Structure 1
Amino acid sequence: MGETRTDLYAPIHHGRTADEIVARIERLILDGVLRDGDRLPGERDLARRLDVSRPILREALKILETRGLLVSQHGGGTFVADIVGQVFSQPLIDLISRHGQARQDYLDYRRALEGMTAALAAERATDDDRAHLSGLIAEMRAGHAVDDYDRELEADIAFHTAIGESAHNIVLLHTMRACYRLLSEGILLNRRMVFAAPGAHDALLLQHEAILAGILARDPDRARAAAEAHIDFIIDAARAADRADDRARVSSLRRIHRDDSSSDSCEKS
């Protein structure tokens, strides 16, 4: 996560005030270096590393808690708050999960968003970013090789999130994280359903590799096209699965009707 963890809380050399500490930690959260659920070092350790007094540190942490960026657990430490999940309110999540058209809208949105993000990543990714993306594809391949869907799907989510980080656009980064929160929780799309489509398992891996290739080649157009093709495949797979589910539902209703009709006929006899 980020560069070197020991650099996150380097000493504050000028203006050792609560405001300086607040600004430092806010920036780490804004840049996506500190993520929701990350635990901050203990008070004594953090004060030492920042080279500030503990009263000043406590004041800064209190400000951050008041702003909803940190949460403290009694006796359990201080953690980064879940601010990503709040991009989509729970009532909105509940609403769109109950209406089928929402999934299509979600995929249309993802197609545009992911194409733009991949193109920016191709332009802006650092050496560290490219190495991280390559490592996630290697993890995806490893899961694929042994048919470990959970491992592969986890790497899939991490890969797309890392592309968002590699685009180096703060608003885009947090939008992507919120978008993938819905996906990882299976709210708008059952990823296993897509994996189960004929030929999908191998095709999805190749699509992710194509996105990586465009980013590594620093070719924005190639990266964008690969990302859009990936979402197009998911859209087609989701539609095919919906059609299959609908056919199964109708067949089941017909069978029930036949059974009921047969039972009625027997009773009349």
Structure 2
Amino acid sequence: MEQGQSGIFTQVSHSRTADEVVRQIEELILDGVLRDGDRLPGERDLALQLDVSRPILREALKALESRGLLISQHGGGTYVADIIGQIFSEPVTALISRHSRATRDYLEYRRELEGMTAELAAARATEGDKAQLSRIIADMRAAHAAGEAERELASDVEFHNAIGEAAHNIILLHTLRACYRLLSEGIFFNRKAVFAHSNSGEALLEQHEAIYAAILSGDGKRAKAAAQAHIDFVMRATEDSERAGQRDRIAELRLLNRQGGSSRPKMASADDPTEETRNSKR
């Protein structure tokens, strides 16, 4: 999706080489300003913004494509490639998604990572970062009040991504984006089931509010504790949801068995002679 990018590119230095263009676009991708799927401005506009000739721009874009950072679609523009991908390969993801203990390990991993990220965000968030978090929280509140679960779930992921950006640590930023992609896709657990379980929606909103308030106040210890308490809650809700699901399945199987029992032939008891026995007494 093309974004309002007119202000993110700056004129390169007087030498105006392709290497300088490459370096600037690489840094925008590295810093998370340009995300996978973002469309770059058209060649003419981008050359003007960078103050370079179109041949130099083409050379730079070709170099970035060869590095796997950009993808050009004939007649459709140039896009940032999907460089985040997944933390695990598809076979490994499929393997661990079939084993429930992977869910707890995934959440345990997120607990430590998110605690550290929230603590850094409280110390490093700029006014722009805080404005972004405020916007997301406002959208989350509105979605919750309107009962728009899908929109609230989307705000949930966006909120955690924004905290990763506010931490201003490049490795954390990209690790978390990959981590939250798994969260969005429900690889390890059913977020919708957790969200709907035991009024979790209200509790999750309160937890996000607590993380947000701590980051805005610059209280790193409180932000870390709030982020980890949030994951602790998700762990408990996930386990409760799984247990409830198991109970539902067992109850359904029992009901099906009893309903089907009326059509099965009744077993003869010791006091109920078979037809063959009755015939022999005639």
TM (normalized to structure 2)?
0.90
Q: Residue 194 of structure 1 corresponds to which residue in structure 2?
A: 194
CA deviation digits over 1:87-126, x for unaligned, max 9? 4322222222222111111111111111110000001000
- Give yes or no for contact 2:211–2:223 (8 Å, CA) kept in 1: yes
Q: Residue 171 of structure 1 corresponds to which residue in structure 2?
A: 171
- C-alpha distance in 2 between matches for 1:66 and 1:266: 74
Q: Counterpart of 1:11 in structure 2: which amino acid?
A: Q
Q: Counterpart of 1:244 in structure 2: which amino acid?
A: A
Q: Secondary structure at the match of 1:111?
A: helix
- Give yes or no for contact 1:111–1:231 (8 Å, CA) kept in 2: yes
- C-alpha distance in 2 between matches for 1:245 and 1:158: 28
Q: Residue 48 of structure 1 corresponds to which residue in structure 2?
A: 48
- C-alpha distance in 1 between matches for 2:95 and 2:184: 18
Q: Residue 137 of structure 1 corresponds to which residue in structure 2?
A: 137
Q: Secondary structure at the match of 1:198?
A: helix
Q: Secondary structure at the match of 2:121?
A: helix
- Give yes or no for contact 2:5–2:41 (8 Å, CA) kept in 1: no
Q: Residue 93 of structure 1 corresponds to which residue in structure 2?
A: 93
CA deviation digits over 1:125-161, x for unaligned, max 9? 0011011101110100000111011111111111100
Q: Which residues of structure 2 form unaligned runs of 5+?
A: 269-273, 275-282
Q: Secondary structure at the match of 2:265?
A: helix
- C-alpha distance in 1 between matches for 2:221 and 2:146: 33
- C-alpha distance in 1 between matches for 2:17 and 2:154: 40
Q: Residue 109 of structure 2 corresponds to which residue in structure 1?
A: 109
Number of residue pairs matched by the alignment: 266
Larger Rg: 2
- Give the CA RMSD over aligned residues: 1.6
Q: Secondary structure at the match of 1:84?
A: coil
Q: Secondary structure at the match of 1:99?
A: coil
- C-alpha distance in 2 between matches for 1:89 and 1:39: 26
Q: Residue 61 of structure 2 corresponds to which residue in structure 1?
A: 61
Q: Secondary structure at the match of 2:85?
A: helix
- Describe the shift of the 1:209–1:33 C-alpha distance in structure 2 as closer, same or farther (beyond 3 A): same
TM (normalized to structure 1)?
0.94
- C-alpha distance in 1 between matches for 2:146 and 2:110: 29
Q: 2:121 matched to 1:160?
A: no
- C-alpha distance in 2 between matches for 1:31 and 1:12: 18
Higher mean alpha-carbon deviation, 259-268 vs 204-213, is at: 259-268
Q: Which residues of structure 1 form unaligned runs of 5+?
A: none
Q: Residue 279 of structure 2 corresponds to which residue in structure 1?
A: none
Q: Residue 18 of structure 2 corresponds to which residue in structure 1?
A: 18
Q: Counterpart of 1:89 in structure 2: which amino acid?
A: S
- Give yes or no for contact 1:88–1:178 (8 Å, CA) kept in 2: no
- C-alpha distance in 2 between matches for 1:189 and 1:266: 43
Q: CA deviation at 1:73?
A: 0.8
